[in-house]
Structure 1
Amino acid sequence: MFEFLNKNYRHIRARHNISYTQSDTQGNTPLTSVIIPCTGSDYIEEALLSAEFASRFASGIEEIVIVSDQPEQAFGKLPKNTRVTTLDIPFREESYRYKQIYRSRLIKIQAPLQAKGEGILMIDSDLNLLRSPTINMHEGHLYSSFRKGKMIAKLEGADEHAIPAYYKPSIRPYLEDHVNGAYLAATRKTWKRICPLWLTLFQDTWELMNDNQPPTDQLPLSVLLDMLDLRTINLGEWANWPVSKKIGGHAAPIPSEVIGAHGGFPLSEWQKYLQDPTQPLTFKGQDYTRKVRYLTDAEKIQQ
């Protein structure tokens, strides 16, 4: 109620969710690298499709890097300008219910550091670039899209001793809007600041918390932004357009304004898009993604 009287709140709020249309958000580092994290053989097909879209439609990109726990040969023929980097990532203990999801987050958090370029965009493997993103970056800025919802809600109902102390005085986890981790861009220098702390906070948070929910990388990211005093820039709704939410369940064309199309299944519909971007496509509804992508390890085996 009286947040406006809190100097730290006012400072962070003024550096959060700033439109990219403001001239002071635009720097001198252009986008050079697209990074696609991919964990498990189940996601090779969609990572290759994402790389194919980036190769075709993101003109000017110097490299596309699929960062995975799978060997390069598992990916077969790669799209133009694409390479695979394989990381050796440990599993959680056998009793942990979300071992693969936990492991996938570890790969994602370290993935931007595998780029060779200076301007680095990391996208989820179920996000396809339909147009070339124009992002000219400043140091100390994180460029993304934003979603409604308080990240601190992930800690509701947890035992007090299981909630890391650094969340209580934080600001961004409590705000109504948060950075969407499916589409994140920053300079190499900024990523080198983000990734080590992000990894530490992720591991600390989900070692303390129980495994009654999938471990999210966005909760520790939100508090990290406070700690590093980063400026977060909103690239707008077309950067990360939720396909299933917008047109899932009925046939419709993808709007021509879309830059990044997120979460459209089945993948066969995207093959139709590659043949004709203007034709209507039929994707599954928005409940599908959570059903198939946030399963416990035991539930995945039953599928």
Structure 2
Amino acid sequence: MFEFLNKHRRHILSRHNIPATQPDTQGNIAVSSVVIPCTGADYIEEAVLSARFASRCADSIKEIVIVSDQPLSAFPTLPERVRVVTLDVPSREASYRYKQIYRSRLIKLQAPLQATGDGILMIDSDLNLLQTPQIAMREHHLYSSFRQGKMIAKLADAPAEHIPAYYKTTIRPYLQDHVNGAYLAASRRTWQRICPLWLTLFNDTWELMNDNQPPTDQLPLAALIDLLDLRTVNLGEWANWPVSKRIGGQSAVIPAEVVGAHGGFPLSEWQKYLQDPAQPLSFKGQDYTRKVRYLTDAEKQQS
């Protein structure tokens, strides 16, 4: 009731969801590395497509790094500036229902550290860059788009003893809007602060929780942003534009303003975009992604 009197909460809110147009968010670190996490052989095709789109960006992008659990030999010929880094990450116990999704999160949480540039943008493998990202970064800032939904809701039905104590003293997991982990940019030094703690909180959270839902990386991300006292900057809707949500189920043209197009299946429609960005494309509706990407291991084998 008197949350507005909470000094810590007011401090966090002053550093949360800041418009990218605000002058004090602007620094001198441009995006020089694009990182694309990719776990499992079944996601290689879309990761290579994402890398192909990224390779079309300006020469200011010095490298595109696919970070995977798959060896280089599993990938087809890659565009210029694209390299593959293979990580060896542990698997959950045999009875755990979301082993591949868990592994994919472990890859993602370590992926930015595989880049060599000073400005690192990490995107999901189903996100295609349609323009060169124009982000002027500062240290100790995290640049992203935002989405709606309280991250703490992931723990709503958990027994109290399964909820890590640090969530009780954080603010961002309880806010209605949160950083979207599909498109995250920060300086190399900032990523070096983020990644170790992100991995620790992720492992701690989902070792305690049962496997009745896919393990999310965005809940521990919300908590660590508080713990590291980072400022979060909102790049706006065009940075991470949800294709299936906006034009899925109909034939439509991708708006020219889109910087990052998130999702959009089938992938063959993106081949049409490469030939002519102005032609109408037909993508599946927004319910498709959850049906095919958040399956248990058993459901995945049956699909």
Paired with 1:2 and 1:27, the residues of 2 have a C-alpha distance of 36
Show structure 1 runs of 4+ deviating over 4 A: none
In the alignment, which residue of structure 2 is the partner of 1:279?
279
Query: Does residue 33 of structure 2 align to residue 37 of structure 1?
Result: no
Paired with 2:245 and 2:79, the residues of 1 have a C-alpha distance of 28
Paired with 2:154 and 2:190, the residues of 1 have a C-alpha distance of 26
Paired with 2:162 and 2:236, the residues of 1 have a C-alpha distance of 35
In the alignment, which residue of structure 1 is the partner of 2:295?
295
> 1:242 Cα deviation (Å)?
0.1
In 2, are the aligned partners of 1:150 and 1:176 still within 8 Å (CA)?
A: yes
In the alignment, which residue of structure 2 is the partner of 1:175?
175
In 2, are the aligned partners of 1:58 and 1:133 still within 8 Å (CA)?
A: no
Letter in 2 for 1:146: F
In the alignment, which residue of structure 2 is the partner of 1:84?
84
In 2, are the aligned partners of 1:58 and 1:129 still within 8 Å (CA)?
A: no
> Matched residues, percent identical?
78
In 2, are the aligned partners of 1:29 and 1:137 still within 8 Å (CA)?
A: yes
> 1:44 Cα deviation (Å)?
0.2
In the alignment, which residue of structure 2 is the partner of 1:148?
148
Paired with 2:202 and 2:299, the residues of 1 have a C-alpha distance of 23
Letter in 2 for 1:280: P
Paired with 2:140 and 2:3, the residues of 1 have a C-alpha distance of 25
Matches within 5 A, 1:262-273: 262-273=262-273
Matches within 5 A, 1:111-130: 111-130=111-130
> 1:160 Cα deviation (Å)?
0.5
In the alignment, which residue of structure 1 is the partner of 2:68?
68
SS for the counterpart of 1:269 is helix
> 1:184 Cα deviation (Å)?
0.2
> 1:59 Cα deviation (Å)?
4.3
Alignment deviations for residues 42-72 of structure 1 (CA, whole Å, 9 cap, x no partner)? 0000000000000013542000000000001
Paired with 1:27 and 1:55, the residues of 2 have a C-alpha distance of 24
> 1:86 Cα deviation (Å)?
0.2
Unaligned runs of 5+ in 2: none
Matches within 5 A, 1:1-303: 1-303=1-303
Alignment deviations for residues 19-63 of structure 1 (CA, whole Å, 9 cap, x no partner)? 010111011111100000000000000000000000013542000
TM-score, length basis structure 2: 0.99
Letter in 2 for 1:149: G
TM-score, length basis structure 1: 0.99
Letter in 1 for 2:125: S
CA-atom RMSD in angstroms = 0.6
The 10-residue stretch of structure 1 (70-79 or 101-110) with the greater mean CA deviation from structure 2: 70-79
